[in-house]
Structure 1
Amino acid sequence: MATLRPFGPGPAVDPFCLEGWVGRQDEALRIRYRLRGPLEQLVLGEPSADPQRRDGLWQSTCFEAFLGVVGERQYWELNLSCSGDWNLYRFEGYRSGGGEEPWIQALPIVLQRSATQLDLELSLPWGGWLTTVDPRLELSLTAVLEHRQMGCQYWALRHCAAEPDFHQRSSFIAVEQLHSEPVPEGHQAEITGER
């Protein structure tokens, strides 16, 4: 289990705890987020009956993952909304050459929510878009939490710049090997904040 941390302290973030897990299962990357705290203080999209691929999700509460292959400049940005809307972008280098990843056309998100806890999980298939024999990935789990009174706060495993910047490759965590065997329910491959 990895704990995401807000960029800068403050009373708005104190009551919240955000954690993330990543594991490899079959031909997919499983990603799970758990947010605990007084959720009524946040702007959370209502679940949509017809989730869509959408731009601009990061302008409000949005769970994100950035991933790339160790040693390669190209990387991807995954955006997930509580509404079920999503997007996956591919960049050729730091904030350059960005566009939608065409290999992924649908991305079902499983969302469970109570007054004090939100769990979001998805299975991101490898097929076609992440073509490499090297199983080493660099990952950064991040999130934007929009507070009703305080605006947006930016959360990540690591913050490596003077301003919040999820695209900073130095904030990605090198994962030497993701497990190739199936991950049992409730037992995710662990990502730590250490290199």
Structure 2
Amino acid sequence: MNNQIFYLQPFPSTKSLPNLKITGNISRNANQLAIYYSLGGDLKEITISSPSNAPSRKYELWEDTCFEFFLGIKDSQRYWEFNLSPAGHWNIYRFDGYRQGMQEETAFEKLPFSVQNKADSLALALDVDLDKIISENQEIEIGITTVIKYKDGEVIYWALTHQGAAADFHLRDSFIIEL
């Protein structure tokens, strides 16, 4: 098993950011991928969707506060984007190359994960079997990201690293965790 702790950084902004911290850990055991996000700090300034009674696949979750990760196969251009809403909604997209061939990944019919929302923290945990999209012996590269939407409508992009002049989670140079 390979377990790694992560800390996300906001893309540089002229906005005065509230005191937020996004950390977590990610691990892979055989082909089970587990990721845990912890968002802490002054959460009253950001929008967080209320839990849904019927979580489902939804589109454009990145337009609101959303936890994401990008998973690529080492030495391949193909990658997947996983979107996880604090409301419980989710989606997965498959790409053939950098922002090319975007398709909804239909190998998954549901993506159950847990969310714990408190006054000063939010935790999200996902445990997913990757057998439907990659084999156990394939090395993967991960980019971990989060979109934070403030109540004034501004959006700040958080990631392990920011490699471009603009915030761009799809840049393969940002997939810096290897499992």
For the criterion TM > 0.5, the same-fold answer is: yes
Q: How far 1:25 moved relative to its partner? A: 3.3
Map of 1:70 onto structure 2: 74
Map of 1:116 onto structure 2: 120
- Give me the whole-angstrom Cα distance separating, in 2, the residues matched to 1:68 and 1:27: 14
- Give me the whole-angstrom Cα distance separating, in 2, the residues matched to 1:9 and 1:39: 18
Query: Per-residue displacement from partner, 1:61-84 (whole Å, max 9, x unpaired)?
Result: 000000111110000000000000
Q: How far 1:110 moved relative to its partner? A: 0.5
Q: How far 1:14 moved relative to its partner? A: 4.2
Q: Which residues of structure 1 form unaligned runs of 5+?
A: 179-195
Code of the residue aligned with 1:96 in structure 2: it is Q
Q: Which has the higher contact order (CA 8 A, sep 6+)?
A: 1
Report which of the two has the higher share of strand: 2
Map of 1:33 onto structure 2: 37
CA contact (8 A) 1:70 1:174 kept: no
Total equivalences in the alignment: 175
* Secondary structure of 1:73 counterpart: coil
Task: Note closer, same or farther for the CA distance 1:46–1:99 as it changes in structure 2 (3 Å cut).
Answer: same
- Give me the whole-angstrom Cα distance separating, in 1, the residues matched to 2:122 and 2:18: 17
Q: How does 1:165-176 map to 2 (within 5 A)?
A: 165-175=168-178
- Give me the whole-angstrom Cα distance separating, in 2, the residues matched to 1:93 and 1:27: 23
Q: Percent of pairs identical after alignment?
A: 38
Spell out structure 1 runs of 4+ moving beyond 3 A.
9-12
Map of 1:183 onto structure 2: none
* Secondary structure of 1:127 counterpart: helix
Q: How far 1:43 moved relative to its partner? A: 0.7
Matched, 1:148 2:151: yes
Map of 2:25 onto structure 1: 21
